[in-house]
Amino acid sequence: MHHFAVFSSSEQPCLGIGDGLALLATARIKADADNARWLHGGRAWQVQVNDIADLASLRLQASDQHTDINILPAEGRRKKLLIADMDSTIITSESLDDMARIAGLAEAIIPITERAMRGELDFEAALDERVALLRGQPESLIDRALAESRLTGGAKNLVQTMRAHGACCYLVSGGFTAITGPVAAMCGFNDHHANILEAKDGLLTGTVTKPVLDRESKLVFLDHYCGEIGIGREDAVCVGDGANDLVMLQAAGLGVALKGKPLLREAVALQLNHTDLTGLLYLQGYGEGEFAAA
């Protein structure tokens, strides 16, 4: 089976074709050098290869040049479904941590978030513990956190390009619907799913509606939308950064860790550590001329 090696970066010009081919040669990967082509000038290029190698050493060497290298099958690269995490994926921060910082509770809440995203704590228990600390805070805390949130580079481009080419896109998050709704609308997702942060009389109650949307729930949504569209998991691309994304990333045909936590870097083969969300388009073989949004 033929494969493609994709080189990309959003931090600076990525490793060029000549240097990239030389790097592949050091790993004895045979590349069709005559057909190497840029997908996005200075940012991403691809070349067909016949062999698969352990990427750890190649990835380390490319990383020194602020470049990602991924190798994936040539067949079925373009996916019909996108399931994306939100916090530290579609947006650059953790929304619950943003609320904690605004409320002056960062020191109590952020360390719990970090441990949960590393897979050291049960997600639901960690969510309940953090949300309980927000009890009595004004509900407007959510709006303030939303106002300060920023989309990750390439977020709109990813969603709008995939939808323009017939794919369906869903935001599925362990965060809160009060934030996923506006973020999904900004990017153009078909719909969104997340936890409901409960409030009464304008104050947060310190609770979330059960059942909690957790790592297993993300897999459930992946299967639900695959069934609704009439495709298999192999026709889906999923992206996330934390431990609660691992199950869906491993199940998807194209599971990508975006600046993933150590657990994901060890367990997920496709990684974007120097490339923004536009990298998911590069992995699917989209060129700049096919992008739907700047």
Helices marked H in 199-291 = 215-229, 246-251, 262-267, 279-283
214 catalytic per annotation? no
Q: Is 92 left (phi over 0), alpha (psi -120 to 50) or beta?
A: alpha
Distance of alpha carbon 169 from alpha carbon 84, whole angstroms = 8
Q: Which amino acid is at 137?
A: Q
Catalytic residue among 87, 98, 241, 276: 87
Q: Is 206 left (phi over 0), alpha (psi -120 to 50) or beta?
A: left
Q: Is 104 left (phi over 0), alpha (psi -120 to 50) or beta?
A: left
Distance of alpha carbon 228 from alpha carbon 13, whole angstroms = 40
Distance of alpha carbon 21 from alpha carbon 284, whole angstroms = 20
Catalytic residue among 19, 34, 68, 85: 85
Name the residues annotated as catalytic.
Answer: 85, 87
